[in-house]
Amino acid sequence: MTQILFFFNSISFFIVISFYNLLYFIYFILLFFNVYHKKGGLKKMYVYADQKKKLELEKQFMNIIFKKYFLIVQIKIFLLSLIYMVFVISQTIIIEDIFLYKNTFNK
C-alpha cells in the first residue's frame, strides 16, 4: 500500500514540477518579448549604422535577459522542486507510520 502511495506521490511530483516548468517557460518568453520591445525591437537595433553600437545594444539585451531573469527562474524551479520533494517524502513516511501503527494493534 505504501509503495502505491509513494508511486502516486512521485507521479504527482513530476506533474507539478513539469507544470511549473511550463509556466516559467511561458513567463520567460513573455519577459523576453517585453524587454525586447522596451529596447526598441528590431527597428532600434538596425537604425544604427555603426556596427559597434548595434553589437553593444545586443550584448546589453542578452545580459538583461539571461542574467536577471533566466537564472532567477531556474533557482525558483529548483527550490520549488526541493520543497515539494521534502513534502512528498515526509507525507509517505507519515502514511507508512500510520499503517504500521494500525497493523501492530490489529494483531
The overall pTM is greater than 0.85: no
All three cell numbers of 30: 513573455
Determine the pLDDT at residue 82. Answer: 76
- Residue (of 3, 6, 16, 2) closest to 77 by Cα position: 16
Residue 104's pLDDT is 66
Q: What 3-state DSSP class applies to 75?
A: helix
Q: How confident is the model at residue 39 (pLDDT cuts 50, 70, 90)?
A: low
Cβ-based neighbours of 32, under 8 Å, separated by 6 or more: 65
Residue 45, all three cell numbers: 537595433
Q: What phi and psi, each to the nearest 5 degrees, are found at residue 50?
A: -75, 120
Q: Name the band, by pLDDT with cuts 50, 70 and 90, for residue 75.
A: confident
Q: Say yes or no to pLDDT of 26 above 70.
A: yes
Is pLDDT above 60 for 42? no
Greater model confidence, 28 or 43: 28
Count of positions (residues) in the chain: 107
% of the chain at pLDDT higher than 70:
49
Q: Long-range contacts for 23-29 (Cβ within 8 Å, ≥24 apart)?
A: 24/73, 24/76, 24/77, 27/73, 28/69, 28/70, 28/73
